[in-house]
Amino acid sequence: MTPPATPPPAGADGAQPKAPLPRPITGKLGLIVELLRRPHGADLSDMMEATGWQQHSVRGALAGALKRHRGLTIVSEKTTGPRLYRLIETAGVEPMTPKAKTPCNRSKAAKTASSQAHA
């Protein structure tokens, strides 16, 4: 039998150590974030050129890696030219925690109604 885990040692002043800060976004995602932070934002062609990715890959990175997993607020605006994407800085807001993986996104009530209809 293994002994119970001991809590981490308290700091010199008796306070518990702080949680680690989120890692900075680097690599190609970091390039996209830099483009989105510009005052006028960036369009898909800017992000495609910077990363070498195709349109669907850039859109997937915006929706998945940056919005859903990192909790960033990205807005898009349709202008007379191409659609522009911008990052809205939200000071003091912690990133969202990733949702648990589920086999289906339907609600429990919808699943129950569907299963009863087929019975």
For residue 111, the cross-strand partners are: none
Predicted local confidence at residue 44, as pLDDT: 94
CATH number at residue 66: 1.10.10.10
Predicted local confidence at residue 8, as pLDDT: 60
pLDDT tens digits, residue range 31-71? 999 999 999 999 999 999 999 999 999 999 999 988 888 88
- Domains: count for the chain: 1
pTM listed for this prediction? 0.57
DSSP 3-state of 21: coil
**The amino acid at 57:** S
DSSP 3-state of 88: strand
Structural domain range at position 68: 24-91
- Do 58 and 51 contact (CB within 8 A), yes or no? yes
Domain for residue 64, yes or no? Answer: yes
Domain for residue 46, yes or no? Answer: yes
